[in-house]
Structure formats: structure tokens, C-alpha cells
Amino acid sequence: MDKTDSTISSKGRAKWDAGRIPDLSGRTAVVTGANSGIGRVAAAELARAGAHVVFAVRDLERGRAAAAGVRGSTEVRKLDLAELASVREFAAGWEGPLDLLVNNAGVMLLPERRTRDGFEMQFGTNHLGHFALTNLLLPHITDRVVTVSSGAHRMGDGYVHFENLNLDGIYAPQRAYSQSKLANLLFTLELQRRLTESGSPVRSLAAHPGWAATNLQSHTANPVSRVLMAVGNKVVAQDDRGGALPTLFAATQDLPGASYVGPSGWGEMRGAPTLVGRSAAASDVEAAKRLWTASEELTGAVYSLAGAVR
């Protein structure tokens, strides 16, 4: 897509904003969780720039309501990332090239619960669902995959609990969320390694929104956390439009594979998008390979470019 200087000033959003997205006419994008928050904004801006955007959502009614307010070419398709059968059905229904996949949907700080397939909900939805979706759609993808992670990947225990991915007996909402966001970055890293090794031009990138005021925080398990989040949304956070900028930057600018984009302001909380760092654990090549192997075993979705559209 568009070539640009990836070194962005920390002086604010005006240095790069959605108005600088290049013409995307003729391109097709899928955005998971596009019915609200930064996913809705990202989908709307991609459509405004000329892309045909598929809102991949769990709730079709809410997805249609979100798409109805968008200027541009859109459609809404059912996708429940907490159910592998739904992921497989979505992928099986895809035909033709797909320029851009934005793995945006997610859940945050939930009480302990399981996906339809028995996985811890945050790990199962945020990582395994997107892992399976990406692998199943990969032969169709022509340009890039952008996966939304979080600064929270630095929190929790700082590593993936490979011997206890469901966190049985040690579950805590923050621990589970942090593990899932760390998994997002390890997935991005290993996907890019495999693409490069295969000689594919497709790129794998990651982004995080900083602190964006969305409805995600309202679903946290702890009522005290919900109050603190609400205060933070008013005092610290940027709006969902600002929070979507790193995703849009990663989705449309000429960046190296495995790049990680986030806000340029203090603490990466808000500001114009720029390339940002990640924890040592998120850069661990061996952990990324191990996670990939485990994820293939759990989902049955195996990396393959057979029959790739080019």
C-alpha cells in the first residue's frame, strides 16, 4: 500500500491521521469486531478510502447497524471467534483475494469462563480464534495481516503458561488478558517468519491503541476496575478514532513485516501512530515457535500457502 516515513512525531495526531490513508479502491478488507470501538472506526475509514470492507461480527444485528452508518462499500458476515466451528464456516465461505485481514476483536478482563471449545475465554478469543481465522484465510490474503495487541502484554506474568494455557487453578482476569495479548505479538512474529521463509510477499504486523475509551472496559470482571477504567477513560484516554490510528497506520503504510505500531505520546497512551517496542518476552523467537505449534494442535488450523491467490 502507501509508502511513507514511519518515523512519526510525538507532537500529536495531526502528523498522521486517517485523512492520509491512500486510495484503497479495488481492495478488500476483513475487520473482526467491527461493530464497535476501534474496529468500527477502522472499518469505516478503510471503506471511506475506497476498500470493500467486511464487518466480521458475532452479533449480526449490531454489525448491520454499524455498517449502515458507514460511507462506502460494506457487508456484514457472522463470525464468533470463541467458536472454532464459526471460524471455519466464515473461512469456508470466503472466495477470491483478500488484501487485508485486521484481527481486531477481543474480550478483556472477564470472569473465568470457557469458549465453546473449552479454551479459557480471553486466550481462546483473542489469540486462538484469530490464529485459526488467519491460517484458514491465508491462501486468500495478498497484502497483510494486522493483529491488535495491547501494552498489557508487558503485564501479568510476562510469559505464556505453556503447561497450563487455560490457567486452571491460577486464573486472574489480568493474567489471562496479558497472556492473550502477549500471544498476539508472538503470533505476529512467527507468522512473519513463516511468510518470509515461504517467499511470500504478505506481511504480518501488530498494533495497539494505547488507552482508547471504548465499551471494552465496561465488561471487566471487577467493579472497582470498572470505576477506575471509567475515570481513566475521561482523564487519560483518547477517543476510539485516536485509538484506531495505529491499526490504520499498520494496515495502510509501507512498514517492515513484524512491525509493531502504537501511539507516540507519553507511555504510549495516546498520540500519533509510530513504531514502538515490545517486551523481551514478545520478541522470543523460540516461544513464538512453541506457541504456534501448540495453537495448531489446539485449533487444527495449520499454516499453508497451498493454492494462494497472487
Place 215 in a pLDDT band, splitting at 50, 70 and 90.
low
**4 has a pLDDT exceeding 60:** no
pLDDT in tens, 239-286: 999 999 999 999 999 999 999 999 998 889 999 999 999 999 999 999
Reduced to 3 states (helix: H, G, I; strand: E, B; else coil), residue 200 is coil
- Closest to 201 measured CA to CA, from 121, 262, 145: 145
Give dist(CA 29, CA 99) in Å, integer: 6
Percentage of residues in the chain having pLDDT higher than 70 = 87
Containing 64, the helix (H) or strand (E) segment is helix 60-68
Reduced to 3 states (helix: H, G, I; strand: E, B; else coil), residue 108 is coil
- Return the C-alpha cell found at 307: 493454492
- Closest to 30 measured CA to CA, from 115, 91, 83: 91
Q: What is the pLDDT of residue 221?
A: 55
pLDDT in tens, 149-194: 999 999 999 999 999 999 999 999 999 999 999 999 999 999 999 9
Give dist(CA 290, CA 75) in Å, integer: 36
Place 3 in a pLDDT band, splitting at 50, 70 and 90.
very low
Per DSSP bridges, beta strands 28-32 and 98-103 are parallel
- Residues 232-236 have a mean pLDDT of 47
Q: How far is CA 50 from each of CA 169, 189, 240, 251, rounded to the nearest angstrom?
A: 49, 29, 21, 14
* Catalytic choice (159, 177, 260, 303): 177
CATH fold, domain 13-299, is Rossmann fold (3.40.50)
**pTM, whole model, 2 decimals?**
0.89
**209 has a pLDDT exceeding 50:** yes
- Return the C-alpha cell found at 11: 507532537
Place 5 in a pLDDT band, splitting at 50, 70 and 90.
very low
- Residues 69-82 have a mean pLDDT of 97
Q: Is 177 a catalytic residue?
A: yes
Q: Is the dihedral of CA 221, 227, 230, 236 positive or negative?
A: negative
Give dist(CA 5, CA 249) in Å, integer: 11
- Closest to 3 measured CA to CA, from 256, 310, 258: 256
The residue with greater pLDDT, 221 or 171, is 171
Average pLDDT, the chain: 91
pLDDT in tens, 9-59: 334 444 899 999 999 999 999 999 999 999 999 999 999 999 999 999 999
77 DSSP 8-state letter: E
